[in-house]
Structure 1
Amino acid sequence: MASQIEKIKQLREETAAAMMDVKRALDESGGDLEGARRVLRERGQAIAAKKSGREATEGVIEVYKHFNGRVGVLVEINCETDFVARTDDFQRFTKNVALHIASMKPLCVSEDDIPADALNEEREIAEKQAAEMNKPENITKQIVEGRMRKWTGEQALLTQGFAKDPDITVGQLLQDTIQKVGENVVIRRFVRYEL
């Protein structure tokens, strides 16, 4: 029984989930910690999806300035209440996003925001490179589409691998933050400066 209590305590510290949610996740996974983490993550993503329609008008503008003074970032991140905007989880998230933008240089917040001229230019490059391979037309199209998916994923903030943990994307980090703070959180816009 003590091991069950220790598992509950460990999972609560890792995920910030409620005790009953942790207990249910452990029961569903047969006491397996990794399985319980997976169950909690899936539930958290479902909760985050429900909250995404709620209006987020509070928040902060986070400022990041690199130690050498040559890179700076301004990012607006919104939540539903000023109470959540002052929490440690929200503040940590905003600092991490600003640091990520400084180091990874995204073009925009989401793939939908990529400018059409940048998309067209990249598609032309991909088509020329694929044509030089002398493959059948259907294979060439697949190559171009694959390269475009990869390129757009690398340019948009939400689909980039998180700088501190490349195993998750910034979008997944956002979903985890929504689960922790219990409100909708939106990365609204950012500006990155570099000398």
Structure 2
Amino acid sequence: MQITAAQVKELRERTGAGMMECKKALTETGGDLEAAVEAMRKSGMAKADKKAGRVAAEGRVEIVSEGNKAVLVEINCETDFVGNDDNFRAFSAQCAQIALSSGAGDVEGLMAETVDGQTLEEQRTQLIAKVGENVQVRRFDRLQAEDALGFYQHGTRIGVVVSLKGGDEALAKDVAMHIAASKPVCVDESGVPQELLDKERAIFKAQAEESGKPENIIEKMIEGRIRKYLAEITLVGQPFVKDPDQTVAQLLDAKGASVTGFLRYEVGEGIEKKKENFAEEVMAQARGA
């Protein structure tokens, strides 16, 4: 049977796939639109399975808030090009909105949420078929503030949410900007993991012992370095980026505020990217030839 341009157009609008792929699906299903949609969804699943093992370390972070609650989400793809694609951006924004409004406790639960009759997981696999890259919703966290929430996004790659007790939104935004730039590990000393502190203390001790100084002096050297280390990794100990003459703790004290929590995501952090060596690749192909 003859497939009309109107049928192809409708299928493209339903699936977002290319014209030739839509025409082929309609031809194979005898012009049955619903059967073509189902076939293309199955095809999309197959493409998604093939791409699932590919490294997705690019993408974007999304921040969505409502009242005193906010969510930070990271969605990954393989290239900057797809990271800026309108379809990818729309999917990312929808994931963030659902993460805020739903009761999902983890990514698996989030992907099972339904929007317009489809789960987010189904939408993800269709997006993979559309953009031709692996797409992953990597993580999300929510944060609730007692008094003020602050947000800062550096492009689409770094996102920060901070909650304050006391203070106001302007202060919270300044602190969020500081967190984006200075990458603190935690708010204060109480949040530093003990294993991290023990590891650094062992390193400082080994370094100090090489000086040959007496044990009591070595202990003082270690404590001094630990204090310096804590000032570097804790939010309140760091010099405030907009005024390095005062620490973040001093800034907060002057405003009668304290930080009750923060979230900081950077796209791709902790993901091992594949390193391409094109010279070796060419040599290997030459040897094979």
TM-score normalised by the chain length of structure 1: 0.70
Deviation at 1:184, TM superposition (A): 0.4
Q: What are the superposed Cα offsets for residues 161-180 of structure 1, whole Å, 9 maximum, x if unpaired?
A: 23xx2x22121121122122
2:56–2:77 Cα contact (<8 Å) kept: yes
Deviates more, 1:175-184 or 1:95-104: 175-184
Distance in 1 of aligned mates of 2:2 and 2:47: 30
Deviation at 1:187, TM superposition (A): 0.8
Aligned 1:182-193 pairs, distance under 5 A: 182-193=132-143
Deviates more, 1:171-180 or 1:86-95: 171-180
Distance in 2 of aligned mates of 1:40 and 1:8: 13
Deviation at 1:160, TM superposition (A): 2.5
Distance in 1 of aligned mates of 2:123 and 2:9: 22
Which ranges of 4 or more aligned residues in structure 1 deviate by more than 3 Å?
none
Q: Secondary structure at the match of 2:107?
A: coil
Distance in 1 of aligned mates of 2:123 and 2:40: 14
Which residue is 1:145 aligned to? none
Which residue is 2:78 aligned to? 80
Which is strand-richer, 1 or 2?
2
Indicate yes or no: 2:65 matched with 1:65: yes
Distance in 2 of aligned mates of 1:41 and 1:4: 21
Gaps of 5+ in 2: 146-289
Amino acid at match of 1:103: S
1:105–1:192 Cα contact (<8 Å) kept: no
Deviation at 1:194, TM superposition (A): 3.3
Which is helix-richer, 1 or 2?
1
- Name the count of aligned residue pairs: 145
Q: What are the superposed Cα offsets for residues 54-79 of structure 1, whole Å, 9 maximum, x if unpaired?
A: 1001011111112xx22211001110
Distance in 2 of aligned mates of 1:180 and 1:194: 36
Which residue is 1:105 aligned to? 103
Which residue is 2:201 aligned to? none
Of the two structures, which has the highest relative contact order with CA contacts closer than 8 Å and spacing of 6 or more?
1
Which residue is 1:43 aligned to? 43
Distance in 2 of aligned mates of 1:72 and 1:27: 47
Which residue is 1:171 aligned to? 121
TM-score normalised by the chain length of structure 2: 0.48
Which residue is 2:114 aligned to? 161
2:113–2:119 Cα contact (<8 Å) kept: yes
Larger radius of gyration: 2
Amino acid at match of 2:106: C
Which residue is 2:203 aligned to? none
Deviation at 1:181, TM superposition (A): 1.5
Q: What are the superposed Cα offsets for residues 85-121 of structure 1, whole Å, 9 maximum, x if unpaired?
A: 01110110110000001111211112xxxxxxxxxxx
Distance in 2 of aligned mates of 1:170 and 1:46: 17
Which residue is 1:20 aligned to? 20
